[in-house]
A and B are shown apart, each in its own frame.
Chain A
């Protein structure tokens, strides 16, 4: 069974940093690209970043470029999102999502809430 479990969310002040993690299991993690998607309270889904299976292709949404860094450790079956210079508008539930059979976002974790507030 595919499982994606996010962690690392919490309350942080504007300008602060946070590192999110996503632990993957139930599939060959090292063979698939991975994604982060966020959802602000009461708002829609927003793609944040993608990373290829061997980390040689990395893409970011314009809204986070230069502030967020996606990475992965295939030996640990883990995906990360380093978030720096956080702003109030970064407040959201952050999901990690993986492809497998049909799309880039076949499986989703339960999400981790990041709140940026003073």
Chain B
């Protein structure tokens, strides 16, 4: 079955930039989405269609895509950004949804 691979963890100091990658074979042909999940809460969409930001999401969140890898960038990280982040996309047919393995962002 199709998989999206993320690094398990990323650590960053406040004010610095965090970058989280997500790799998958179908990403050149399928949009990627990014979700933030804090403990005990449901996920929240932070990036859609590779690089678009939903209303209400701070500008420090941005997304990019290159080949089979998409990247979520958090610029000027704040303590409140400490959370788990998941990429999400579909298989090559667009039929089956898949979530990435998840990345825990720790703000030092």
Contacts and interface: CB of A to CB of B under 8 A. Distances in A.
A102 B45 contact: yes
A45 B96 contact: no
A32 interface: no
A106 B33 CA distance: 10
Contact of B99 (A44, A110, A111): A44
22 contacts: A35-B97, A37-B99, A44-B84, A44-B99, A44-B101, A45-B35, A45-B43, A45-B86, A47-B88, A47-B97, A47-B99, A59-B96, A61-B96, A101-B54, A102-B33, A102-B45, A102-B49, A103-B33, A103-B88, A104-B97, A105-B45, A110-B42
Interface of B: 1, 33, 35, 37, 42-43, 45, 48-49, 52, 54, 84, 86, 88, 95-102
Interface of A: 35, 37, 44-47, 50, 59, 61-62, 95, 101-106, 108-111
Nearest to A37: B99
| Residue among A44, A50, A104 having the largest count of chain B Cβ atoms under 10 Å | A44
A95 B42 CA distance: 8
Given A45-B43, A47-B97, A104-B33, 9 more contacts: A44-B100, A45-B88, A47-B88, A47-B98, A47-B99, A61-B1, A61-B96, A95-B42, A108-B42
Chain B facing A: main interface SS: strand
Name, among A44, A103, A108, the residue most crowded by chain B CB atoms within 10 Å (CB to CB): A103
Kindly list the 10 A-B residue pairs having the minimum CB-CB distance in the complex, ordered from nearest: A108-B42, A44-B102, A102-B48, A47-B97, A45-B99, A103-B33, A103-B48, A102-B54, A45-B86, A62-B1
Contacts of A46: 99
A111 B43 CA distance: 11
A102 B84 CA distance: 20
A30 to B, nearest CB: 21
A108 B41 CA distance: 10
A105 B54 contact: no
